[in-house]
Each structure stands twice: as C-alpha cells, then as structure tokens.
Structure 1
Amino acid sequence: MPETAPAPAADPLARLASHYASMPPVAAMDIRVDHYDGRCLRVTAPLERHVNDKGCAFGGSLASLMTLGGWGLVSLQVEAAGLDADIYVADSQIGYLRPLFADLTVEAEAGPHADWDAFMDMLRARGRARIHVVAHARLPEGGAATEFAGRYVAILRR
C-alpha cells in the first residue's frame, strides 16, 4: 500500500514550520516560527547550531534565516489572501552591524514603501507580483546585529 502524505496543518504557522522542516538544509538550522501578528514574522534559531570560529553567529546563517523569514512572511500574506503561489527571493542586500553572541532572532516585515494590497491586486491581475521585505537580526540588549532588504516575487500556481 503506498504511503500517504500527512494532512496539512490547520494553522498557517504550523504549516510554515512544517515547510521549513521539510527542506533538509533548513531543518538542520533548527528554525522556530516564534510569532506572527499579521504584519511581522519572528523566527528564531539556537546559536549553538550557527556559531562560527569567533563564538558568534555565522554570517551565512544570519543571511539564511533573514531570507527564510522574508519568504515566510510573503507566504503567510499570500495564503491569508486566499491565493496559491510560489514565492522566490529575487535579490537581497545584507549589512552586518555587530556580532551576535546569542540565539538568532529575526523579525521580517514589509519594506517602508511596500503595499500588501497593491501586491495582491497585481498578483491576481497579472499572475505575478513583487514586494520588498526588510528583516533584522536582533541583539538581546536591543538594536540590530544585521539588516536585510530583499525583493520577493510571487507567481500564481495555475
């Protein structure tokens, strides 16, 4: 008898966490979907999985977590709009401001001039749309260790 895929989780955050866990390199990062308020997505990962030779967070891990946080944010927004689309990161820029000697905590949200309504209207009308997302890896004492700006593209599945 063939194996059946598990039923998708009813909660969008559980589905996002499950999707992250379904990709072996991402699963190895031990990412946790920590919080989502409809505007900002917070994801975390333990420092011990991402420590470099200096004892602080590895830059590649920070870049990956911020990219995944932005991807998750766009995915949640598209799902909430009742659409089914593939999401891709088109390009990104990262600034490393200070070393992070604690667990990685990333918050992703729409960029300052991004408009979710316009993004969804374009996605419905043309089958594809793009939006700018910003993310920060937070220091425990406040402020940003790393800043990220990325452009994400959504393409409707037909």
Structure 2
Amino acid sequence: MLREVGIAHPRLALPRAGQGDDLVAFQQWLCEAIPLVDHLGLSGMHWQGDTLIWDLRLSPNLNDKGTGFGGSLAAQTTLIGWCWATLWLRTQGRLQDVVVAKANQRFLAPVTGDYRLECAPRDAGGTERLHTRLQTHGKGRIALIQRLYTGATLCLEAESDYAVLPAQAPP
C-alpha cells in the first residue's frame, strides 16, 4: 500500500482480550504504516518479560566506515520505544496515539555486526503509573530504556519518554 502525505494509515485491529499481538502481523503492519521500517534490517521481534527485543542486520545500516550508522541506530531506538508503548497499550485494549516526547542516545562502541536492540521501562513502576494516568486522565507518559548489543558488547544506550495522547472520539 502506497502511503500518502497527510493521510493516516489505518490502525491494526486490537488483539482479542487476554491475547498478545501476533508480532509477525504487527511487523508487517509496521512496515506498511512507517515505510522506513522496511529498510532498517529488522529480522524479527519478540518479548522477554516486559522487554521488547528486535534482531537487526547491520548491512542496511552501514556508515562510510563499515560500522553502524548513528542516524539509523538512533531512529531504531526511537522506533522500538514507540512500538513498546503501542504494543503495551494494545494489551490494555487501548487504541491511542503514541509520540516520542524526548530522546537521547549515548554511543559506547562501534556496531560491527548484526545486533539486537532491547527496550523496557526505565523503572519498575513505569507501567503502573502510566496505567493510573490513563485511567484518571486519558493520557500519560512513560520513560523507556533502549540498549543495543553486538554479541555481549553494549554499543548504544538510549532513554526516551513517550506520550500517550488522549483517545479521539470515532468519526
């Protein structure tokens, strides 16, 4: 499906209550909703507890030095956080928009091979606070940490805040 500027992509239907998203179907939808995703080398995603993990290929993200391009890596940390928040909302039965409010990265080592990117709440009470804010105000924020590893080497660490916008009334 060709995307048009200014036209929102149709939302993915919520999973059945008590079931998580089919991450393969979510990834396919993500590639349609955000065309850049199809070019980032994302080869799979899965959950490990409350951590969303992506497996990525280095080849589409190379810089002129033959290592990971910082711009691609920064985009990926922002995107995995957006996915984490969106998928968490979907498990709560909520179709609300998520936007990145603040993001920063620390590049610690060059990325020299295929890698994994992990995303989880910055602190243990983050999801409970977000849930409470959504119940009382219909909107909220959550701070997430993203870590990128090549093998056992931590190459990049990022922190991002994501805002969950108030739900819009159906047309």
Is the shorter-chain TM-score for this pair beyond 0.5, marking a shared fold?
yes
Which structure 1 residue ranges, 5 or more long, are not aligned?
Answer: none
Q: Give the ranges of 4+ consecutive aligned residues of structure 1 lying more than 4 Å apart after TM superposition.
A: 7-11
Determine what percentage of the aligned residue pairs are the same residue: 24
The offset of 1:114, in angstroms, is 4.5
Deviations 1:65-102 (A, max 9, x none): 11111111111111111111101110111000000111
**Which residue, out of 148, 152, 155, partners 2:162?**
152
Q: Following the alignment from structure 1 to structure 2, what is the Cα–Cα distance between the partners of residues 116 and 97? A: 28
Q: Please state if 1:107 is matched with 2:118.
A: yes
Counterpart secondary structure, 1:101: coil
Match of 1:17 in 2: 27
Relative to the length of structure 1, the TM-score reads 0.87
The offset of 1:124, in angstroms, is 2.4
Equivalent residues in 2 for 1:12-51 (5 A)?
Answer: 12=21, 13-22=23-32, 23-51=34-62
Which structure 2 residue ranges, 5 or more long, are not aligned?
Answer: 1-9
The offset of 1:30, in angstroms, is 3.1
RMSD of the alignment, in Å? 2.0
Equivalent residues in 2 for 1:51-130 (5 A)?
Answer: 51-112=62-123, 114-130=125-141
Matched-pair contact (CA < 8 Å) for 2:118–2:148: yes
The offset of 1:38, in angstroms, is 4.2
Q: Which amino acid aligns with 2:137?
A: R
Q: Following the alignment from structure 2 to structure 1, what is the Cα–Cα distance between the partners of residues 46 and 111? A: 20
The offset of 1:19, in angstroms, is 3.0
Relative to the length of structure 2, the TM-score reads 0.80
Matched-pair contact (CA < 8 Å) for 1:123–1:155: no
Counterpart secondary structure, 1:156: coil
Aligned CA distance change for structure 1 residues 79 and 138 (closer, same or farther; 3 Å)? same
Number of positions where the alignment pairs a residue of Structure 1 with one of Structure 2: 152
Aligned CA distance change for structure 1 residues 9 and 28 (closer, same or farther; 3 Å)? farther
Q: Following the alignment from structure 1 to structure 2, what is the Cα–Cα distance between the partners of residues 150 and 138? A: 18
